[in-house]
Amino acid sequence: MKKVGVIRFPGTNCDRDVFDWVSGHNQKPEFLWHLDQFHSTDYEMIVLPGGFSYGDYLRSGALAARSPVMKSVREFAELGRPVLGICNGFQILCEAELLPGALVKNEHQKFIDEWAGLQIENPHSHFGARYESGNRLRLPIAHGDGRFYAPAKELKKIEDQGLVWLRYQNNPNGSLNNIAGVMNQQKNVVGLMPHPERASHFWMGGIDGKDFL
Amino acid sequence: MARYAIQILPREVILDTQGRAVEQTLKLQNLTVQSCLVGKYIELDLGESGAEGFQKAKSIAEKVLCNPLIERFTVQTLNDEVKL
């Protein structure tokens, strides 16, 4: 059974949801605390769930990105092993410079909690692998700082290198180029603002997130 | 020992949602301004002073306090010596 490390920081609040989501895929989740360190061989996948790590102090994800466990996540990622960041997890990976760009306050300054229509731009071979380019799906979003931003030069690089994973069909937060999820150059680290774990049973309102793992 | 003041501001107006909200409120009170940026102010008390302390403060700002993609910062020395 595949062992998956689920990282918890003070303020993480989607950890139980992610834990159940991983378990539902016949994989063995294990919680890791922000002060923990691990060996890259201990896990086959790492997931950073959503929440408000360190109370969003300084910038969303900024303090979590510099916590001890992230040293191990960096080593794990550098070996080309799969890392997924959801919502605050995505912000943390950007702050850790494991993903390009930054997530800033929503353009309209409001927290949004709704379902979003998305389109796969560049399919990922590990996460959501059954989806093809152009496929459409619906996933919940819930964030205040979800506006994807990168300076013009950086944004062009992200587009040119095919690092855009998901785009919003109707941009809910002012994200540049409607970007909802990106991947790194090596394509083993991915992040997205929507919550696939919240769309893994029909009773949740949809199952488009079920096959993301 | 010396104290250093780090001032952080959004790099572009489009990133400054707080600044725009404050600007709008000022306008509603007939206190129209040309522009308003909202940032952060952080004070560091360091063991080092002089050029060494300044460099350390700058390095802390670069590595942690500021995200260069979206923010810019200035470092100011508040006083060279703090008498205990």
pLDDT at residue A1, rounded to an integer: 86
Mean pLDDT of A34-44: 97
Segments in chain A forming alpha helices (H)? 15-23, 68-78, 88-95, 152-160
Q: Residue range B54-68: average pLDDT?
A: 96
Q: Which of A14, A34, A87, A94 is catalytic?
A: A87
pLDDT at B12: 82
Q: Give the confidence band of B80 by pLDDT, cuts at 50, 70, 90.
A: low
How far, in Å, CA of A69 to CA of A73, rounded?
Answer: 6
Q: Does residue B60 carry a pLDDT above 80?
A: yes
pLDDT digits (tens, 9 = 90+) for A11-33: 999 999 999 999 999 899 999 99
Residues of B engaging A, defined by a Cβ cutoff of 8 Å: 11, 15, 17-18, 21, 40, 64-65, 67, 69-70
Supply the ipTM of this predicted assembly. Answer: 0.87
CATH superfamily of B2-79: Phosphoribosylformylglycinamidine synthase subunit PurS (3.30.1280.10)
Q: How far apart are the first and last CA of chain B?
A: 10
Place of tokens 């095919």: A162
> Among all chains, which residue has been given the structure tokens 């459409």?
A136
Min Cα distance B79 → chain A (Å) is: 25
Residue with tokens 């979206």: B70
Q: Which of A115, A96, A11 is nearest to A46 (CA)?
A: A96
Is A14 among the residues known to form the active site? no
**pTM recorded for the entire structure:** 0.95
Mean pLDDT of chain A: 97
By three-state DSSP, how is residue B15 classified?
helix
Closest residue by Cα to residue A46 from A79, A13, A11, A24: A79
| Chain B residue whose CA is closest to A62 | B64
Instruction: Quote the CA–CA distance of B72 and B10 in Å, as a whole number.
Output: 6
Q: How many CA atoms lie within 13 A of A77 on its CB side?
A: 26
User: What pLDDT score was predicted for residue B15?
Assistant: 82
In this prediction, residues B23-27 reach a mean pLDDT of 93
Residues of A in contact with B11 (CB under 8 A): 151
Instruction: Note whether B70 contacts A62, CB cutoff 8 Å.
Output: no
Q: Is the pLDDT of residue B83 over 60?
A: no
Residue from A194, A196, A153, A143 nearest A176 by CA: A153
Q: Which of A62, A106, A154 sits opposite B67 (nearest CB)?
A: A62
If one counts every other C-beta atom within 10 angstroms of the C-beta of residue A84, the result is 27
What share of chain A has pLDDT > 90, as a percent? 95
The two structure tokens encoding residue A39: 């060996």
Looking at the predicted structure, is the pLDDT value of residue B42 above 70? yes
| Chain A with chain B: Cβ pairs closer than 8 A | 28
Q: Which residues does chain A have within 8 Å of residue B21's beta carbon, measured at their own beta carbons?
A: 109
Exposure string for A155-180, b = 16+ CB within 10 A, e = fewer: beebeeeebbbbbbeebbbbbbebbb
Q: Per-residue pLDDT tens for A143-175?
A: 999 999 999 999 999 999 999 999 999 999 999
Q: What is the CATH number of domain A3-212?
A: 3.40.50.880
Domain limits of chain B?
2-79
The tokens describing A107, both together, are 């353009």
Q: Do B70 and A149 touch (CB under 8 A)?
A: yes
- Nearest-Cα distance to chain A for B56, in Å, is 18
The rounded distance, in Å, linking the Cα atoms of A163 and B59 is 30
Higher pLDDT: A192 or B14? It is: A192
Q: Chain A interface, mutation test: which of B40, B41, B67, most A Cβ atoms within 10 Å?
A: B67
Two structure tokens written together for A102? 């930054």
Tell me the domain boundaries of chain A: 3-212
B82 has pLDDT over 80: no
- Does residue A208 register a pLDDT over 80? yes
Residues facing A115 on adjacent strands:
A140
* Separation CA A198–CA A185 (nearest Å): 27
Looking at residue A169, its pLDDT comes to: 98
pLDDT at B13: 76
Chain-chain contact of A102 with B69 (C-beta, under 8 angstroms): yes
